[in-house]
Amino acid sequence: MKLVLHSAKRASAPYRVRIGLNLKGLPFELRPVDLLANAHQGEDYRALNAQALVPTLEVDGRPLTQSLAILEWLDEAFPEQPRLLPLDPFDRAAARAMAEIIACDIHPLNNLRILRALTALEIDEDHRNAWATRWITDGFTALEPMVARHGGDFAFGDAPGLVDCLLIPQVFNAGRFKVDLSAFPAIRAAAAQAAEHPAIAAAHPDHHPER
């Protein structure tokens, strides 16, 4: 099976999928998409991803979009590799809830198109950063006790999984906005531990080709 990931260096949604692919031990070809040059808005890329967002994962030429859907597909298609989601139904729902706080309630308020829309409304950089900080802080305030309750060596239990795929890029993103994480010791501990894991470290933007 040939896997091609359309990804951007500092974008957090494809970063999630790079972590997931690495945790599964699946080799993939990485195709950088230059968001600042609007490469994602061209006709060629829109034919793969009608939303003009990264990531897109091509599976033998068939495109899959939406990072959470891609991560769940990885778990279903490769169940024999390390699991991203717990097997117990309650734990699966709890892990999904934590992932969705990030994917549905933090990240969509701060992605490039939203920040560009704020700029178009003449909101200056300080206020855009305050906006991003507000929503990251709100989401992390809800997530912190969940990581404290469910976390072990990683954000959910003692093995890396779906929650780490979401949390690590969001913590990276918080760093870009210089968000104060001192009120989130469980999140900081989980992120620090996960950063040491070779599959997660290999997905870091520092190892991504430019764009």
Contacts with ligand GSH, residue ranges (CB under 6 A): 11-13, 35, 40, 53-55, 66-68, 103, 111-113
Q: How is 33-74 classified by DSSP, letter by letter?
A: --TTTTGGGSHHHHHH-TT--S-EEEETTEEEESHHHHHHHH
Rank residues 22 and 66 by Cβ distance to ligand GSH and give the closer one: 66
> Least distance (Å) from ligand GSH to the CB of residue 55?
6
- CB 5, min distance to ligand GSH, A: 12
Residue whose beta carbon is closest to ligand GSH: 113
| Shortest CB 211 distance to ligand GSH, Å | 12
- Which strands make up the sheet holding 3-7, listed edge to edge? 29-32, 3-7, 56-59, 62-65
Kindly state the tokens that stand for 206: 């520092």
CB of 4 or CB of 189, closer to ligand GSH: 4
Tell the smallest beta-carbon distance from residue 153 to ligand GSH (Å). Answer: 26
Tell me the pairing of strands 56-59 and 3-7. Answer: antiparallel
